[in-house]
Amino acid sequence: FGLTALDLNNIGMTFIIMASFIILYRKKKTGKWLAKFAPYGRMALTNYVFQSIFGTFIFFGWGLGYLGELRNIYTLLFSIVIIIVQMGLSKWWLGKFYYGPLEWAWRSLTYFRLFPLRRNRMN
């Protein structure tokens, strides 16, 4: 019974978060601010894989091994900095290319054909 209640709670919270996002996105002022996340979302797979590789390098033994060494506030600040850097790089990348590198590879492999990656210089 307890696990079912937890699952139902998670589903309810998911809908509340989604509804809140939609309401905020439809408002003019907050929608304009949220639109800055669009390039980051269009490169979600590339950003996720980069975060995973970089994060495990920082925190696990095959890299620097800082897991348990850093305070939570520093880990939070570190993640915010990574996201801000990725947002800037995503915007820059999508100005020159149609897709992120992993999104392009995924799309090309899915449809068994190469899609154009680089934007025309005249655009």
pLDDT digits (tens, 9 = 90+) for 91-115: 999 999 999 999 999 999 999 999 9
**Contact partners, residue 95, CB within 8 Å, separation at least 6:** 119
Helix axes 101-111, 44-59, angle to 10 degrees: 120
Give the angle subtended at the CA of 39 by the CAs of 97 and 95, to the nearest 5°. Answer: 30
46's enclosing H/E stretch is: helix 44-59
Residue 86: predicted pLDDT = 97
pTM above 0.85, yes or no: no
**Contact partners, residue 24, CB within 8 Å, separation at least 6:** 30, 31, 34
How many Å apart are CA 18 and CA 30, to the nearest integer? 15
Mean pLDDT of the chain: 93
